[in-house]
Amino acid sequence: MMKICKSMLAAICSIMLMAVSFTTQADDKFTLQIKWVTQAQFAGYYVALDKGFYKDEGLDVTIKAGGPDIAPPQVIAGGGADILIEWMPAALASREKGLNLVNIAQPFKRSGMMLTCRKDSGINSPADFPNKTLGVWFYGNEYPFLSWMSKLGLATDGSDGGVTVLKQGFNVDPILQKQADCVSTMTYNEYWQVIDGGLSADELSVFSYEDQGVSTLEDGLYVLEENLSDPAFVDKAARFLRASMKGWEWATNNSDAAADIVLEYDMTGAQTEKHQRRMMGEINKLTANGGKLNVDDYQRTVDTLLGSDSDPVINKEPVGAWTHKVWDAAFGCLLYTSDAADE
């Protein structure tokens, strides 16, 4: 009897020790700073959080929402994030200024940026831009626009024969109120705000940066170069990347449900089901075939930025601005495969 009791006691102690081990082995904390507010543009990450994909990888992920007064590079420079989402022109400009951001993955393959103009302002092609007022986002979003204007040979200081730049807020009021002839829009967001604001597609001239041959990469994942020499960080980043791409795969195959998940994480209550579901459909067009950074796409972005005749976004060919190190740690040499489509 005593032997049995001792055996049972030993078994119970063993189980208790295992339980303590599991409870004390906390998930690794990892913080993502997104580029803008909570919306379907970042659905893959919210899906990965909501579905437990990060948890499955042993990660405790925090997603920090952005906003008009938040510059992601400044957040990571100040230690407020481990990884951020940024457009490549802004990331390369930051790198040239001394903040060594490195692209580790590129979930967005195509650019969604456009210039949307009123036809009644006389704009039917870029040749009609001179002496017009164009709304432009700043906080790093202006770089693709400035590169395009430089390619067209148009000054942006309001001088005769150039264009007047209106520092556009993150809304489309200037075009609706005729304060600007054109405004910056994204295929998945502000363009539809223009439509919902009362202008029909027939009343608009739309110029896609992709179609104009001046598109640059958007929504890439960036970390600080110094962290890539730390094997523990690379391991966490690889696990984050693996779970995030699983989230994007799920979002692609469950578009409306992914939009609904985003709505659950919108603490402002500003987003609507109609807008987020519509946005998710447009986002899926941009993320198709995204994931591992395509070096040709990277070089096209660099060439576009360096090709400006005046006021270039960057002044020299970047060195060390991207790596496949984390991707290869996550997936090997695969572009991406996942079984997460319908989980």
**Is position 5 within any domain?**
no
Whether 333 shows a pLDDT value over 80: the answer reads no
Q: Are residues 303 and 231 in the same domain?
A: yes
pLDDT interval class at 334 (50, 70, 90): low
CB 221 within 8 A of CB 107: yes
Task: Tell me which of 152, 183, 208 is where a domain ends.
Answer: 208
Q: Are residues 224 and 327 in the same domain?
A: yes
Q: Are residues 138 and 93 in the same domain?
A: no
Whether 144 shows a pLDDT value over 90: the answer reads no
Q: Are residues 307 and 182 in the same domain?
A: no
Sheet holding 204-208, edge to edge: 164-167, 133-136, 182-186, 113-118, 204-208
**Is position 338 within any domain?**
no
The alpha carbon of 130 is separated from its chain's Cα centroid by a whole number of angstroms, namely 31
Assigned token pair, 189? 């967001």
**Is position 163 within any domain?**
yes
Q: Are residues 222 and 91 in the same domain?
A: yes
Q: Are residues 121 and 95 in the same domain?
A: no
Residue 87 Cα distances to 7, 215, 288, 289, 334, angstroms = 61, 11, 17, 18, 24
37-68: per-residue pLDDT in tens? Answer: 999 999 999 999 999 999 999 999 999 999 98
Q: Which domain holds residue 157?
A: 113-208
Assigned token pair, 299? 């070089």
**Is position 146 within any domain?**
yes
Alpha carbon dihedral 75, 67, 248, 277, in 10-degree steps, equals 170
Task: Tell me which of 174, 208, 242 is where a domain ends.
Answer: 208
Average pLDDT, the chain: 89
How many domains does the structure of the chain reveal? Answer: 2
66-104: per-residue pLDDT in tens? Answer: 998 899 999 999 999 999 999 999 999 999 999 999 999
Q: Are residues 192 and 258 in the same domain?
A: no
CB 92 within 8 A of CB 305: yes
Q: Are residues 142 and 221 in the same domain?
A: no
202-243: per-residue pLDDT in tens? Answer: 999 999 999 998 899 999 999 999 999 999 999 999 999 999
**Is position 12 within any domain?**
no
175-190: per-residue pLDDT in tens? Answer: 999 999 999 999 999 9
What pTM was estimated for this model as a whole? 0.84
